[in-house]
Amino acid sequence: MSRRILLNAFDMACVGHQSAGLWRHPSDEGHRYTDPAHWTSLARMLEDGGFDALFLADVLGVYDVYGGSRDAAVRAAAQVPLADPLLLVPAMAAVTSRLGFGVTVSVAYEHPYALARRFTTLDHLTGGRVAWNVVTSYLDSAARNLGRSGQIPHDERYELAEEFLQVCYKLWEGSWADDAVVRDRERGVFTDPSKVRDVGHHGRWFDVPGAFLCEPSPQRTPVIFQAGASPRGARFAGTHAEAVFVSGPSPAVVRRSVDAVRAEAGRAGRDPRSVRIFAMLTAIAGESDEAARATLREYLALTDPEAALALFGGWSGVDLSGASPEQKLEYVQTESTRSALASFTGPDRDWTVGELAEFVTVGGRGPVVVGSGATVADELERWADEADLDGFNLAYAVTPGTMRDVVTHVVPELRRRGRMPAPADAGGPTLRERYGTGDGARLAEDHPGSAHRTLPSRPA
């Protein structure tokens, strides 16, 4: 069988995620993001349709770089209003049994002791189907409202993230022994106190001397996801990530990120092939190439280019509100935004502002592929092979229509080609087993979290 392609649906607890303006399409149900039934029916459809996981993005601010104002984003519901993604998972978990759930939470605004409990709770409630997308946050608007004037410097954010994960690993892997919970009714012992250990963490950012509050969940540590594109981000991903989320306009651009992450994993003493790498991509699939192209034309008539540039402003820090479409991107960037733009566009093309605006209008930072199931499958195979990918985070143009079209047209084709397994062979029941990134449901031996399994036992 050819190399398997993993599929995650990429979504967010908001009206419009990556395709600004498409909330106006008659079939779009993004405005139902506060209705549990919207999420439970989406989750059922994804699970029945062969998706591996639902991946939820998050930010804690608004997109206010474009024109120095949030108005464009607010007007077009571009990631605002926005709900808390963690709270969407329990209802979806209760109506599914195999679908994974990746949730984005920033380490900048949480305390590890409380956040570790949240993820353990979710891992219990889902039976081990949870991933944590570890982010360090990029929006100044979030930092301001959470009581920090401006961001912590970029590299320091990763130092904080390193220590945050160390604390979490100690709590998840080291505090409660596998045989701590004994449930011995006769002796009146639910948990053997000698098998619950203090983690004794004293670091630069956090002091966590005591024991964890939670008994071990199926995966203990959730599957660790990461999305950093910078060199420091790639090093962090190579060290900690079991799954990495990349994006770029061409397989060649994406390949560079993939190679960097796999190299960093090797440098960290891990098997570079054990890291699952997903590219962002929007697939518009239909009965035929022509039908799919007609659908895309429908979408393009409803896009909101100003709101798309508002999203781009937040991602890159670059305000394109004053630029004319013909201007080369090269001339609108400043020293401080050069690397953000370069990681977005890659060095292969000399983009104009207009080209960029058109590119990000549907599907945000990722490419759009359009066509019949066979055509889309061809493109996914080409991307996977040329960029050395393990799968895709598929963004939507409209929700849930885009994912339903993938289920209808693309999944059967990928199965015929041996790129996706039959449901019975998809692996599981935990997400780590489904992704195949660990030692069964637990972290791989060569993952740095595994080192914390050996916290010293206490004399009884």
Span 182-211, contacts to a copy of itself by CB under 8 A = 183, 185, 188-193, 196, 206-211
Examine residue 178 and tell whether it contacts a copy of itself (CB under 8 A). no
Q: Which residues contact 443 (CB under 8 A, 6 or more apart)?
A: 173, 220, 221, 242, 432, 449, 450
Closer residue to a copy of itself in complex, CB, 259/358: 358
Token pair belonging to 317: 């820090």
- C-alpha–C-alpha distance, residues 258 and 252, integer Å: 10
> Residue 23 CB, nearest distance to a copy of itself (Å)?
6
Amino acid letter, residue 414: L
In what helix (H) or strand (E) does residue 298 lie, and over which residues does it extend? helix 289-300
Q: Are the beta carbons of 324 and 355 closer than 8 angstroms?
A: no
Among 27, 29, 41, 124, binds a copy of itself (CB under 8 A): 124
Among 11, 12, 16, 158, binds a copy of itself (CB under 8 A): 16
- C-alpha–C-alpha distance, residues 315 and 166, integer Å: 28
Q: Which of residues 132-171 bind a copy of itself (CB under 8 A)?
A: 141, 144-147, 149
Q: Which stretch binds a copy of itself (CB under 8 A): 13-21, 255-263, 317-325, 390-398?
A: 13-21
> Residue 457 CB, nearest distance to a copy of itself (Å)?
15
> Residue 120 CB, nearest distance to a copy of itself (Å)?
7
In what helix (H) or strand (E) does residue 8 lie, and over which residues does it extend? strand 6-12
Amino acid letter, residue 324: S
Q: Which of residues 418-447 bind a copy of itself (CB under 8 A)?
A: none
Amino acid letter, residue 62: V
Amino acid letter, residue 42: L
> Residue 83 CB, nearest distance to a copy of itself (Å)?
4
Amino acid letter, residue 47: E
- C-alpha–C-alpha distance, residues 167 and 209, integer Å: 10
Closer residue to a copy of itself in complex, CB, 215/386: 215
Residue written as token pair 């509050």:
213
Relative orientation angle of helices 231-240 and 154-169, to the nearest 10 degrees: 10
User: Total binding residues for a copy of itself by CB under 8 A?
Assistant: 75
Q: Which of residues 22-81 bind a copy of itself (CB under 8 A)?
A: 23-24, 31, 34, 36-37, 40, 60-62, 69-71, 74-77, 80-81
Closer residue to a copy of itself in complex, CB, 32/415: 32
- C-alpha–C-alpha distance, residues 180 and 192, integer Å: 5
Q: Which residues contact 63 (CB under 8 A, 6 or more apart)?
A: 70, 72, 73, 78, 79, 80, 139, 141, 310, 311, 313, 314
Q: Binding pattern to a copy of itself, positions 211-250, x when CB under 8 A? A: x-xxx-x---------------------------------
Decide: helix, strand or coil at residue 382.
helix
> Residue 164 CB, nearest distance to a copy of itself (Å)?
12
Q: Which of residues 335-394 bind a copy of itself (CB under 8 A)?
A: none
Among 52, 304, 413, 433, binds a copy of itself (CB under 8 A): 304
- C-alpha–C-alpha distance, residues 14 and 26, integer Å: 17
Among 181, 263, 426, 455, binds a copy of itself (CB under 8 A): 181
> Residue 302 CB, nearest distance to a copy of itself (Å)?
8
Among 43, 89, 237, 370, binds a copy of itself (CB under 8 A): 89
- C-alpha–C-alpha distance, residues 300 and 314, integer Å: 22
Q: Which of residues 93-112 bind a copy of itself (CB under 8 A)?
A: 93-95, 109-111
Closer residue to a copy of itself in complex, CB, 144/154: 144
Among 45, 91, 300, 426, binds a copy of itself (CB under 8 A): 91
- C-alpha–C-alpha distance, residues 91 and 299, integer Å: 30
- C-alpha–C-alpha distance, residues 324 and 331, integer Å: 11
> Residue 196 CB, nearest distance to a copy of itself (Å)?
6
